[in-house]
Amino acid sequence: MKTVRFWPTPDRGGLGLFANQSFLPGETLGYYEADSNSVYVNNSHDPNAEMVFDREQHLWYLRAIKVIKRGKEITIQYQHPAPIPERCLCKAKNCSGWIGVK
């Protein structure tokens, strides 16, 4: 598997994950580890990646669902309901304005 690094960068008043190389749809970006920079992946209502569970490794990983150019922020759409609704700042055309609210 391709080794990929992520780095947190100030963005929209917080941290985000940015691609250090370009990716094509279906490519693996890296494993999601709770103690790594991957926790900084932001929500978007027009995400360019998704979380996929690897049944053999028993680990979650990030997979591109769109072309992601080097330097672009990597985003997923959060699937979990938020205990306290949080404002979404993704600026996607279809943004509902809230994270974790269906």
Q: In the set 15, 28, 95, 100, which binds Zn ion (CB under 5 A)? A: 95
Q: Where are the beta strands (DSSP E) in the chain?
A: 6-11, 14-19, 28-31, 42-43, 49-54, 59-64, 73-76, 86-87, 98-99
- For Zn ion, give the closer residue by CB, 52 or 95: 95
In degrees and rounded to multiples of 5, residue 62 shows phi and psi of: -100, 130
Beta carbon nearer to Zn ion, 33 or 97: 97
Taking Cα atoms as reference points, which of 22, 29, 26 lies closest to residue 68? 22
Minimum distance from residue 45 beta carbon to Zn ion (Å): 4
Nearest CB to Zn ion, comparing residues 15 and 95: 95
Among 101, 34, 26, 24, which Cα is nearest to 69's?
24
Interface residue with Zn ion among 45, 48, 68, 76 (CB under 5 A) is 45
**Closest approach of Cβ 95 to Zn ion, in Å?**
3
Q: Which residues bind Zn ion (CB under 5 A)?
A: 45, 88, 90, 95
